[in-house]
Copies of this chain bind each other. A is one copy, B any other.
């Protein structure tokens, strides 16, 4: 039986091995596989409600009518839901988050993971995680990883059927913590979506993609063996590789700022002094500093003291998407 409304909650994730560029932009089939950690404490809640009076979907963000660009993106996602379910109804979609936009934490992953689950429930689509992961991917690539909690791998695949995330280890497997040093809350000038399309204009993207499976393998082993030293090496390398592709695409995308470089240098210095820390940077200037739970307070304190750091958000591993 179909329901007329469902609400789901999902967490953002931080990629340890990065997704950047698609082999198929239309179906969001990534150029390479990726690995992420789902972040607890931070969440997006999405309510999907059928409204027979509507002739198109209506998106509300934090209680306000969303921008036209956001509406279009959500309607395209819901078109997939309608096609898969064979049901032509439109919905009111309400999304709220407990973390600020521009906090350096991608909100689209949590939003589309929650939306996929709530919409699947409302439209009577299968709600097993593998199906949900494929569906969420159509909204935002990295959303396919937020279906699962803990440590997650996205199998690149070659088409819609073969491209989805799988769980690598549950959230309690390893007490990693992500300390996000926020240096800017400005909204980024180039969206990740547009950035993914530019990846293929970098002369370096083929080399990054061709060597990604080795890094996936190293990262997976580091997680399963809880080997922070190995994790640090491959996570920083992979982040630097993605930014290399960004900065050499045409036009170039520079997400790093002066403070970003300074924090990255500090993190390497702390690690040389014996601290279990490493950095990873997404499509923005803020720096995600990974450490072990016992060291999180020290890292938070040290990051706060760096000039230009406006705040530090601390997140431990979180659960997968759930209905509420």
A262 to B261, CA, bound (A): 11
Kindly name the residue among A203, A211, A252 whose own CB sees the greatest number of chain B CB atoms within 10 A: A203
Contact indicator B207/A211 (Cβ below 8 Å): no
Contact indicator B237/A250 (Cβ below 8 Å): yes
A134 to B261, CA, bound (A): 39
Contacts of A99 in B (CB 8 A): none
How many interface residues does chain A have, given as a range?
20 to 34
Among the listed B233, B244, B252, B254, which residue makes an inter-chain contact with A247, where contact means beta carbons less than 8 Å apart? B244
The smallest C-beta distance from A214 to any residue of chain B, in angstroms, reads 8
Among the listed B206, B233, B248, B264, which residue makes an inter-chain contact with A244, where contact means beta carbons less than 8 Å apart? B248
Also in contact, A237 and B248, with CB within 8 A (given A208-B203, A254-B261, A254-B265)? yes
Residue of B nearest to A263 (CB): B258
Q: Is A111 an interface residue (CB 8 A)?
A: no
A258 to B256, CA, bound (A): 9
Contacts of A261 in B (CB 8 A): 254, 256-258, 261
Q: Is A313 an interface residue (CB 8 A)?
A: no
Q: Is A240 an interface residue (CB 8 A)?
A: yes
Contacts of A207 in B (CB 8 A): 203-207
**Count of identical protomers in the assembly:** 2
Also in contact, A248 and B241, with CB within 8 A (given A204-B208, A208-B203)? yes
The smallest C-beta distance from A286 to any residue of chain B, in angstroms, reads 15
A65-95 with Cβ < 8 A to chain B: none
A230-250 with Cβ < 8 A to chain B: 233, 236-237, 240-241, 243-245, 247-248, 250
Q: Is A153 an interface residue (CB 8 A)?
A: no
A89 to B243, CA, bound (A): 52
A264 to B256, CA, bound (A): 12
A241 to B204, CA, bound (A): 8
Q: Is A178 an interface residue (CB 8 A)?
A: no
Contact indicator A240/B236 (Cβ below 8 Å): no
Contacts of A211 in B (CB 8 A): 203
Contact indicator B203/A241 (Cβ below 8 Å): yes
Q: Is A57 an interface residue (CB 8 A)?
A: no
Contacts of A237 in B (CB 8 A): 248, 250, 252
Q: Is A282 an interface residue (CB 8 A)?
A: no
Q: Is A259 an interface residue (CB 8 A)?
A: yes
Please list the residues of chain A having a beta carbon within 8 angstroms of any beta carbon in chain B: 203-208, 210-211, 233, 236-237, 240-241, 243-245, 247-248, 250, 252, 254, 256-259, 261-262, 264-265
Chain A to chain B contacts (Cβ below 8 Å), 9 pairs: A203-B210, A203-B211, A203-B241, A204-B208, A237-B248, A243-B247, A244-B245, A257-B262, A258-B259
20 new A-B contacts at CB < 8 Å, known A204-B207, A258-B258, A258-B259:
A203-B207, A203-B210, A204-B204, A204-B241, A204-B244, A205-B207, A207-B207, A236-B252, A237-B250, A237-B252, A240-B247, A243-B247, A244-B245, A254-B261, A254-B265, A256-B261, A257-B258, A257-B262, A258-B262, A261-B261
